[in-house]
Homo-oligomer: A and B are copies of this chain.
Amino acid sequence: MADAPTAAMLLIGNELLSGKIQEANLVVLARDLRALGVRLQRVVMVLDDVETIADEVQKLSTRHDWLFTSGGVGPTHDDVTLASVARAFGVKIERREELASLLRGFYGEKCTEGHLRMADVPEGTEFVSEMDHNPDLVEIGGRKLPWPAILVRNVFVLPGIPQVFQMKLSAVRARLRKLGARAFVSHAVFTDMDEGHLKPLLDAVVAEFPDIDVGSYPAWIGAPYRTKLTFDGRDVSRVKQAADAFCATLPDGEPRSREP
């Protein structure tokens, strides 16, 4: 799977690390990336600190094909993601008229410098939108504000609020689909055996299929099986071969079931 494009995610916010808010965007992005054939390799969560965020953006964007940040994009003192991305790339922040005019249209006479701070983005920012057929609307106080997804080089800068984060993913998907990467596929095998007994059988299939990612997950009390085994890859026939080869080594009566 060395040929799959790679990605990292940077989760930003004191409220996540203090446990005030339960993080909810990672699993949504992870599933989308998998369906797009992009391999999510690392996730980092940090506090609202410019130097820390800039350092991580610099490292993660260099070491992966794509970086997705979540959080810290509002207008207040604790929203420092865009300033940090600018610092990571050594570019300035500039006010973009395309965004400022959206804000003035939305807030009208009540538009303040605080609101307009949302139009300040790193130099070279690209606006990614599916506006034509699927408007990216952010709802504020019951009214809708069209707002594009922000892309700075290979870094998608996404908002932390889960409902808005998910809205922005339609634009992300449209962009990544252009890569034409093959989706990951997964087969699952359910057994009544425990991991201690399965270990030698798993070691054998792992050795025979180095291109397939084999996972083993013990069930918790009450599940209708004891251990779930997963076989993942981007070549559907190899994935099926690995699952078949493993099942052929199981004793009578196993596996209990398979998916798909």
Contacts and interface: CB of A to CB of B under 8 A. Distances in A.
A2 to B, nearest CB: 14
B45 A42 contact: yes
Contact of A117 (B23, B44, B199, B217): B199
Describe A's contact surface by its main secondary structure.
mixed
A253 interface: no
State how many copies of this chain the complex holds. Answer: 2
A248 interface: no
Interface in A82-100: none
Interface stretch (A127-135, A168-176, A218-226): A218-226
Contact of A31 (B19, B26, B77, B230): B19
B43 A77 contact: no
Interface residues of A, number: 71
A101 to B, nearest CB: 16
Contacts of A195: 74-76, 114
A230 B46 contact: no
B20 A23 contact: no
Interface of A: 11, 14-23, 26-31, 33-34, 40-47, 74-79, 107, 110-112, 114-115, 117-118, 139-142, 161, 163-164, 184, 186, 194-200, 202-203, 206, 213-218, 220-221, 226, 230, 232
Given A18-B34, A42-B44, A77-B202, 9 more contacts: A14-B232, A18-B232, A76-B199, A77-B214, A78-B216, A114-B195, A114-B196, A115-B196, A139-B221
19 contacts: A14-B215, A15-B215, A15-B230, A17-B42, A19-B31, A20-B186, A20-B215, A23-B27, A42-B44, A42-B47, A75-B195, A76-B195, A77-B202, A77-B214, A77-B216, A78-B214, A117-B196, A142-B221, A163-B220
